[in-house]
Structure 1
């Protein structure tokens, strides 16, 4: 069967990969670890989906078992890595709304980064390891989709896999509500406080972070619940019999032609929804941060860095050298 999303999906996936990484340098400079992890997970998820959509376009051949082993783990890790990053953003905004200083010392910044790393890196790795409990065989390969985790649909799966995005989303929502309440109570004081403290976090960036976090909250929990609903419809929930039963013939690889899996409309919705989530996250992030003032300043700096070897400089004009000296460029 013809994939109507090809080559549209690979284009959007690669675009999501690039766009999510564009604001990374200046967020690294600002020590915004939660935001940086959000970009990294979104970019990694988009790149993973891009490669799969290209390699397995029109086929379900097992081209690279090693890559599929990596790919399915990236997919599983990103499914909690992105919500976990949003949780860290909300957590940071909550602390900012309730503390008396924004500029933290180096030890405090290091401690905040370590905590964010535990949430955004260590937890996704633990989550991936936990999936082996319900992983029925090595992996599946779906034509036009690529490598896909083979999780046995039992009640245990909903506790080891499906519930975590919901839990993370609810914790994020709690932080978000508390941040909004604190900000509402101290609106004028907070505004004066932000302006009186020299910090990389401006009011504009604070509100964009809040908008990103709220968008993720609005989407994460409802979509996670929707995913659970789709899982129950794609195949019946089987009983958990034993470890040996779940992992029987674990080494097999199931290759599914599009002609078969596209006949199940619920499965089609589930598969397409899962893979389109990554580029959509990346594009939403770029919509919030890719057109901000600091982004425009960095684009300008990057432009002049590229054209400087050709003799072009900020404010330079080959036709009017006297005028160029008075124009200048401020970063």
Structure 2
């Protein structure tokens, strides 16, 4: 019996939907770091949603191609989300220096290029680094689905395990410097916000709160995963590429009764999949109820009711009421 079913797939499905709601106005504002945060969080929620349904009561290798794709999504999203948070904090730091007004299209394209290198190109490089220490094709956990199989060798800690923590620490430095600049340059910052930029003080604070929350969520989890891997068993020496990838096509399958009884497996696995859902819900909490969101909700509702003819009927009723009064 899965204690998280149907709770997890319900929340993962909600996460898939709500994370996309603020996307249009972030695209309109050219907030590439925030858009990448939405992209990786949506992909992570969708991936975990599918896995939690397909492998609800089994650990069978029923979809090997999907598992190849799924494990790579998990790997890339594990650094893609912190990298997006880093890009957001970096942009906020530049704004806090009051030198980040991307007035021209060229400036905006340069900012998007830098964010793309951090949030898209690096996760793809990270996939290659993970493959170096990938012990076999993938693992399947009953009730969870497909998961990457990283061989517990010393290079894995430098090629794979340390990067979410390192990115979180760099992001935290940017966050600290932003707060420091805001404290010392309040007047210049207020002037910047009134200089025609699409960024408002409220949106700036919400972006900073989002990035800080992501640091507080991702970095401790990364540290805990390093700790749990280190004490789960002896760290194997790196012998050779052939030794690490021996019998590479093998698939490990873990019934729930086994992995749920091992805290060093159970805790990090559950935390890693729930964390992505929490990121989606936190993002919506910061941006789904803001003024621009409510304005877009009203516009969408007006468009829908107009297409369905409700608004026309209401206008006719109002006109008849006005004639009756005369």
Structures share a fold, TM > 0.5?
yes
- Name the residue aligned to 1:89: 88
RMSD: 1.7
Deviation at 1:287, TM superposition (A): 0.7
Deviation at 1:233, TM superposition (A): 3.3
Secondary structure at the aligned position of 1:108 is classed as helix
Which structure 1 residue ranges, 4+ long, deviate > 6 Å from structure 2?
none
1:292-311 alignment, distance < 5 Å: 292-311=290-309
Deviation at 1:215, TM superposition (A): 1.2
Confirm or deny: 8 A CA contact 2:94 2:100 kept in the other structure.
no
Deviation at 1:193, TM superposition (A): 2.6
In 1, the alpha carbon distance for the partners of 2:148 and 2:125 equals 16
Secondary structure at the aligned position of 2:121 is classed as helix
Gapped regions of structure 1 (runs ≥ 5): 325-331
1:178-327 alignment, distance < 5 Å: 178-195=177-194, 197-313=195-311, 316-321=314-319
In 1, the alpha carbon distance for the partners of 2:105 and 2:185 equals 27
Secondary structure at the aligned position of 2:235 is classed as coil
- Name the residue aligned to 2:34: 35
In 1, the alpha carbon distance for the partners of 2:127 and 2:321 equals 61
Gapped regions of structure 2 (runs ≥ 5): none
In 2, the alpha carbon distance for the partners of 1:182 and 1:323 equals 59
In 1, the alpha carbon distance for the partners of 2:236 and 2:5 equals 34
In 2, the alpha carbon distance for the partners of 1:322 and 1:171 equals 64
Secondary structure at the aligned position of 2:162 is classed as helix
Confirm or deny: 8 A CA contact 1:169 1:221 kept in the other structure.
yes
Deviation at 1:234, TM superposition (A): 3.1
In 2, the alpha carbon distance for the partners of 1:314 and 1:183 equals 50
Deviation at 1:298, TM superposition (A): 0.6
In 2, the alpha carbon distance for the partners of 1:21 and 1:87 equals 20
Deviation at 1:296, TM superposition (A): 0.5
Residues matched between the structures, number: 322
In 1, the alpha carbon distance for the partners of 2:311 and 2:237 equals 69
Deviation at 1:219, TM superposition (A): 2.4
Deviation at 1:220, TM superposition (A): 2.4
Deviation at 1:255, TM superposition (A): 1.5
**1:85/1:322 Cα in 2 relative to 1: closer, same or farther (>3 Å)?**
farther
Confirm or deny: 8 A CA contact 1:103 1:198 kept in the other structure.
no
In 2, the alpha carbon distance for the partners of 1:313 and 1:241 equals 72
Confirm or deny: 8 A CA contact 1:304 1:312 kept in the other structure.
no
Deviation at 1:105, TM superposition (A): 0.4
